[in-house]
A = this chain, B = another copy of it.
């Protein structure tokens, strides 16, 4: 699991970490601020941040005793192109569903559902 994309996806595959990223989308924040909404120790949140940092999704500065975290969305570009590759497949299935639903509405195919 050494590749960057796997690391990024694994980092995103946790609701706590996604919540941290969502918070950072509104601006930089300290570890304490980030930890506040969660029912877990500061050390645990610190570890989550480390995971995000290893994935390149967060960078950190230093201001006095704070180490403010900053969102870095760049690694998500690879995720975007991964899912874009599959877009045609889900859209195709939606089209099929759409066709099916329209088919149900035509008077001819009245199978009572």
Contacts and interface: CB of A to CB of B under 8 A. Distances in A.
Interface stretch (A10-18, A31-39, A41-49, A99-107): A10-18
Contacts of A7: 13
A62 interface: no
Interface in A1-41: 1, 3, 5-7, 9-10, 12-15, 18, 21, 25
> Mostly helix, strand, loop or mixed at chain A's interface?
helix
B10 A6 contact: no
Number of copies of chain A assembled together? 2
Interface string A64-92: 00000001111011011011111101100
Interface residues of A, number: 31
A109 interface: no
A97 B73 CA distance: 14
A21 B9 CA distance: 15
B80 A87 contact: yes
B89 A25 contact: yes
A113 interface: no
A93 interface: yes
